[in-house]
Amino acid sequence: MNYRHAYHAGNFADVFKHIVLTRVLLYMQRKEAALRVIDTHAGIGRYDLSGVEAGKTLEWRSGIEQVFDAKAAGSIPAAMLELIAPYLDVIEQENSAVKDNSLRYYPGSPLLTRHLMREQDRLSALELHPQDYKTLAALFEGDYQTRVTELNGWLALGAHLPPKEKRGLVLVDPPFEIAGEFDRLVEGLVKAHRRFATGTYALWYPVKDRREVNRFIANLKESGLPKILRLELSVRAPSQEPRFDGTGMIVVNPPYLLQEEMTKISPWLASLFGENNQGSYKIEWITGEERAEK
């Protein structure tokens, strides 16, 4: 386990993923009933963008910093700003004590989720890296709404489902540092769906090797699971050699409004993050309401 998210926190993929996460959560909270969020690959929760790791790659500069600069310049269209404001508010809260109002801390998925949770909601966060687990556990120490566990996140797709709340969002955000992660995503989803078919699932994947992505999408279709929405954002045209050209989220049982919201948000993000006007996005149903024929 070499992957450390601190090198990548706040990059364009994080921004995209966390905006999707925010929109899904907020929609699910329209119902009063308690909600459980299960974050299978949680990371450390709070990232210091002035730290050594973030400083080595500076990926956040072409990610969250672009969004903050656009906000400061007043160039975010109002309809867009309304949709991403809850996400930006969390980041502003995280940075409220930073001198000069500058951007120093970036909240990862468990911390973002925790900010958005209501009193009745619960978070289960899993992290396998011993050091990252300790950091995350310390962040939520004494928080009775959050349970941090040092566990293989893939196991949560079996044992932890269905949650006792019966309403849940499962975020699966593996590091893709070892081969076979796309297959594990499909297998994990099928297993989880068998136990908890009404849950909402958000799976992250990199758009790097397009053949792998196409195979992944074909396998999802083949899985027979209904209601799978594909959301993608690319910052450049497909590279010749595999390169991190874009980012994707698969949302199973997405909230009713997600497609419409992402249709507003994605073009703006594609123009903001796109290199040489080459940003693009994709929003499509892999399977619709009906269970696909196998």
Q: Does 128 bind ligand SAM (CB under 6 A)?
A: yes
Rg of the chain over all Cα atoms, to the nearest angstrom: 18
Strands 122-126 and 36-39: parallel
Kindly state the smallest distance separating residue 178's Cβ from ligand SAM, in Å. Answer: 9
**Residue 173 known to be catalytic:** yes
Kindly state the smallest distance separating residue 31's Cβ from ligand SAM, in Å. Answer: 25
Q: Binding-site residue total for ligand SAM (CB under 6 A)? A: 19
Q: Which stretch binds ligand SAM (CB under 6 A): 56-64, 149-157, 188-196, 281-289?
A: 149-157
* 65 contact partners, CB below 8 Å, separation of at least 6: 10, 103
Residue 146 pairs with which residues in a beta bridge? 123
Kindly state the smallest distance separating residue 289's Cβ from ligand SAM, in Å. Answer: 29
Q: Which of 145, 152, 198, 214 is the binder for ligand SAM (CB under 6 A)?
A: 152
Q: Does 132 bind ligand SAM (CB under 6 A)?
A: yes
- Classify 30 as helix, strand or coil: coil
Q: Does 42 bind ligand SAM (CB under 6 A)?
A: yes
Rounded-to-integer distance, Cα 126 and Cα 133, Å: 8
* 230 contact partners, CB below 8 Å, separation of at least 6: 217, 248, 249, 250, 282, 283, 284, 285, 286
- Specify the DSSP class assigned to residue 151: S
Which of the following is catalytic: 121, 132, 173, 245? 173
Residues forming contacts to ligand SAM in the complex (CB under 6 A) are 1, 3, 5, 17, 41-43, 108-109, 126-129, 132, 152-154, 173, 175
Catalytic annotation, residues: 173
